[in-house]
Structure 1
Amino acid sequence: MIGLIVITHGNLGQEMLAALEHVLGPQKNAKAVAIGPHDDMEERRQLLIQEVKAVEGGQGVVIFTDMFGGTPSNLAISLLQEKGIEVIAGVNLPMLIKFSSLRQSEPLSKVITEAQEAGRKYINVASKLLAANG
Structure 2
Amino acid sequence: MIGIVLITHGHLGESLRDIVEHVVGPQHRMETIAVEREDEIATLRPALLDAVHRVDDGSGVLVLTDIFGSTPSNLALTVRRPGHVEIIAGVNMPMLVKLAKTRAAKDLAGCIELATEAGRKYIAAASELPESCLQGGKCCTAVLSSPTLSSLPHPVAAPAAIIPLRRAIS
Query: Shorter chain as normaliser: what TM range?
Result: over 0.9
Stretches (4+) displaced over 2 A: 130-133
Q: Which residue of 1 aligns with 2:4?
A: 4
If the length of structure 2 is used for normalisation, what is the TM-score? Answer: 0.75
Task: Report how many residues are paired.
Answer: 133
Q: Structure 2, unaligned stretches of length 5 or more?
A: 132-151, 154-170
Q: Determine if the alignment matches structure 1 residue 42 to structure 2 residue 49.
A: no
1:31 match? 31
With CA pairs under 8 Å and 6+ residues apart, which has the higher RCO, 1 or 2? Answer: 1
> Between the two proteins, what is the percent identity of the paired residues?
44
Partner of 2:168: none
Question: How far, CA to CA, are the matches of 1:82 and 1:127 in structure 2?
Answer: 40
Bigger helix share: 1
CA spacing shift, 1:82–1:114, aligned 2, 3 Å: closer
Contact 2:31 2:51 in 1 (8 A): yes
Equivalent in the alignment of 1:102: 102
Matched position secondary structure for 1:52: helix
| Distance in 2 between residues matched to 1:81 and 1:57, nearest whole Å | 15
Which one-letter code corresponds to 1:44 in the other structure? L
Q: CA RMSD in A?
A: 1.3
Q: How many angstroms does 1:80 deviate by?
A: 1.1
Counterparts of 1:130 and 1:94, CA distance in 2: 21
| Alignment partners' CA distance in 2, 1:112 and 1:3 | 12
Q: What SS does the aligned partner of 1:62 have?
A: strand
Unaligned runs of 5+ in 1: none
Match of 1:17 in 2: 17
Q: 1:110 to 1:83 in 2, by over 3 A?
A: closer
Per-residue displacement from partner, 1:26-85 (whole Å, max 9, x unpaired)?
000001100000101111111000000000022000000000000000000001136610
TM value normalised by structure 1: 0.94
2:72 counterpart residue number:
72
